[in-house]
Chains A and B, each alone.
Chain A
Amino acid sequence: GENVEQHPSTLSVQEGDSAVIKCTYSDSASNYFPWYKQELGKRPQLIIDIRSNVGEKKDQRIAVTLNKTAKHFSLHITETQPEDSAVYFCAGRGKLIFGQGTELSVKP
């Protein structure tokens, strides 16, 4: 069946370093690729999304890249800060399938 694979499951970086999280999807019809951030004890919130007609989108320190041929999209966070520590989720099949989540820890 359709699925979304997200890697890595955990990621630890030093403050100021970059972090990259990757998701692969199986549904060729997918045309919307969001990333959500969930801080401990809080609800997921959209941080950035991209549509299939665009290869890259940036918003300050975060960016998402999409490779439709290879069926993967990635979240890039530059100059990481301790407040970036959270669980990050990608989603596919519109928004009906989520990746397993990546727990990002930014060490000061």
Chain B
Amino acid sequence: DGGITQSPKYLFRKEGQNVTLSCEQNLNHDAMYWYRQDPGQGLRLIYYSQIVNDFQKGDIAEGYSVSREKKESFPLTVTSAQKNPTAFYLCASSVTSGPNEQFFGPGTRLTVL
């Protein structure tokens, strides 16, 4: 299914805890993205990375952090500063950040208890 994986599928977190979501791709894509999906709101961009060791904030970056130390990996940390973290998180990658198809991972559903 496109060679992009996310783990875990389901994640539960207590309030006040940081949690890291994994995203790995073996497609040799330069660009990677993190989206948050809430009912009725579509996909909202959290962070994106056009190339290894570089990343930019998206529209809703507050309370999140990322790293891009390796081309194939783009982990997302949901910090305790994120006010409403319960959501479905989707990672995606594309050959470049230009006009081309994005391939999505299966997603991680995060629930804050």
Contacts and interface: CB of A to CB of B under 8 A. Distances in A.
Interface of A: 6, 9, 31-32, 34, 42-46, 49, 51, 89, 94-101
A94 B99 contact: yes
Interface in B35-84: 35, 40-45, 48, 58-59
Nearest to A4: B42
A44 B99 contact: no
A43 B99 contact: no
A101 B42 contact: yes
Interface residues of B toward A: which range? 20 to 34
Contacts of A100: 40-42
Contacts of B59: 97
B26 to A, nearest CB: 16
